[in-house]
Amino acid sequence: MAVGTHMSRLEDTRRLYALLDQLETASGGKRHLNDLGTASRWPRRGVYFFFEPGEHRSGSGDGPRLVRIGTHALGSGARSTLHQRLRQHAGRSGGASGNHRGSIFRLLVGEALIARGDCAACASWGVKGDIGKAAAALTANRQDLASSEGPVEAAVSTWLARLPFLRLAIDDEPGPDSLRGYIERNTIALTSCHSWETIDPPSSAWLGHFSGRSRVRQSGLWNQRHVEDTYEPAFLDVLQSLIERV
């Protein structure tokens, strides 16, 4: 483990949250998915940091615990904006519906809501990349699948609307050397409980315990990628310099 000791990781975790407190102050506070507004009010590209009601830090200090970190448009030539990506997470029509096949965040939350019994079983949830292909794979009527998925999509939109998040503008070009990707993967690796001694474990009531994905359950994050990675402590210096420009 390149970071050396539990104590150094603890100190880095505390520093991360202190920086996010600075970002919250500098950016005017946390936002919610049901109040994204128009794209003109948003930076073109960036990183987002989600928190969750009921999830608190217990080892690194007081305050809310990060539950998902993400960005967008990392592939070379990708054109999606930060606002568009958050819209995909939020759902359509003011949160009344959505498309979990366009948002892994929605897919993971929906799986957990179904497993916990908050929603009826939905055999097509997460099947294939679009509902037409799912209908063909399951030999089912597309409209029937849409009808069965609709209540789950609505429940996911309602659940996600509760989550406050911070955004950090980083308007770099898509590609393997993206600064946004660097911040995303290192923040995930630092806050993940997957492979390291746990600093801020999820609460016993965390919905993610019902996830069918072991990386979600073990990391305490609604993330699957980078939860087993080793973080680079120097990323905190980069993050600090970015936040100081806000």
179 part of a folded domain: yes
- Among 160, 175, 207, which residue terminates a domain? 160
Inter-CA distances, 130 with 17, 56, 101, 124, 125, Å = 38, 36, 6, 10, 11
DSSP one-letter code for 172: P
Total domains present in the chain: 2
- Among 136, 160, 184, which residue terminates a domain? 160
Over residues 108-151, the pLDDT tens digits come to: 999 999 999 999 999 999 999 999 999 999 999 999 999 999 99
Q: Clarify whether residues 81 and 183 are in a common domain.
A: yes
Q: Clarify whether residues 215 and 236 are in a common domain.
A: yes
Residue 30 has a pLDDT of: 98
The mean pLDDT value for 176-199 works out to 93
Over residues 18-37, the pLDDT tens digits come to: 999 999 999 999 999 999 99
Domain carrying residue 187: 6-86+163-243
Over residues 226-240, the pLDDT tens digits come to: 999 999 999 999 999
pTM of the model: 0.94
Over residues 35-44, the pLDDT tens digits come to: 999 999 999 9
The rounded distance, in Å, linking the Cα atoms of 188 and 191 is 5
Question: How many percent of the chain have pLDDT more than 90?
Answer: 88
Evaluate if residue 4 carries a pLDDT over 80. Answer: no
Average pLDDT, the chain: 94
The rounded distance, in Å, linking the Cα atoms of 20 and 48 is 11
- Among 116, 145, 160, which residue terminates a domain? 160
1 part of a folded domain: no
Q: Clarify whether residues 74 and 97 are in a common domain.
A: no
Paired tokens of 135:
């209908």
Q: Clarify whether residues 81 and 202 are in a common domain.
A: yes
Residue 5 has a pLDDT of: 61
Q: Clarify whether residues 105 and 75 are in a common domain.
A: no
Q: Clarify whether residues 194 and 175 are in a common domain.
A: yes
Q: Clarify whether residues 180 and 232 are in a common domain.
A: yes
Evaluate if residue 62 carries a pLDDT over 80. Answer: yes
Q: Clarify whether residues 77 and 118 are in a common domain.
A: no
Evaluate if residue 3 carries a pLDDT over 50. Answer: no
